[in-house]
Amino acid sequence: MLTLERLRADHADALLAFERENREYFARTVPDRGDAYFTPAGFAARHAALLAEQDAGICHFHVVLDDERRLVGRVNLMDAIDGSAELGYRVGESAAGKGVATAAVARLCRLAGTTYGLTSLEARTTLDNLASRTVLERNAFVAVEETPIEGQPGVRYRRAHLGH
């Protein structure tokens, strides 16, 4: 059973290990975060900044834990303004293709409506990222327009009716 936990300071070590372990895997489909992100100091600064954004109510960050309490992914709501937010997620290579992203996004959609009071979510992915597009479509997101993402052809999705 998957568990979503709101990001906390004590997640830092496991999260950095997860990001390092999956760096090459993630770089196949999304831009790399750069060497500085993966240093202890760089990661600590970024983690602190995320926690500050979360404390301010701007964003809602979550780690995804498997049934053995291993960190296998992250799902996030960014720029929560006027009842809407942007959904972002990533699942590590060891959990890919097992329904983890689909389940984690489904849970976060419920939290978005019930806990965070949001009414709609948006997400973007590249046109060639079939796995990400499938996760979104299985979670009732609808493609609304094509849009470039980091210079690549992409698509923007939207989901309303999050359920309260």
Looking at residue 1, its pLDDT comes to 82
Domain carrying residue 76: 3-160
Tell me: pLDDT of 36 over 90. no
State the sign of the Cα–Cα–Cα–Cα dihedral 7, 45, 73, 128: positive
Could you report the per-residue pLDDT of 117-134, keeping only the tens digit for each?
A: 999 999 999 999 999 999
What is d(CA 156, CA 162) in angstroms, rounded to the nearest whole number? 17
Could you report the per-residue pLDDT of 69-103, keeping only the tens digit for each?
A: 999 999 999 999 999 999 999 999 999 999 999 99
**Residue 63, token pair as written in the block:** 């780690």
User: At 10, is the pLDDT very low, low, confident or very high (cuts 50, 70, 90)?
Assistant: very high
What is d(CA 1, CA 4) in angstroms, rounded to the nearest whole number? 10
Taking residues 46-55, what's their average pLDDT? 96
If one counts the domains in the chain, the total is 1
- What would the 3-class secondary structure string for 16-45 be? HHHHHHCHHHHHCCCCCCCHHHHCHHHHHH
- 20: domain CATH number is 3.40.630.30
Taking residues 97-113, what's their average pLDDT? 96
Q: Where are the beta strands (DSSP E) in 10-141?
A: 60-65, 71-81, 84-91, 120-126
User: At 163, is the pLDDT very low, low, confident or very high (cuts 50, 70, 90)?
Assistant: low
Pairing mode of beta strands 71-81, 84-91: antiparallel
What is d(CA 101, CA 123) in angstroms, rounded to the nearest whole number? 14
CA distances from 92 to 66, 98, 103, 144 (A): 11, 11, 14, 27
Burial 49-79 (b: 16+ CB within 10 A, else e): ebbebbeeeebbbbbbbbeeeebbbbbbbbe
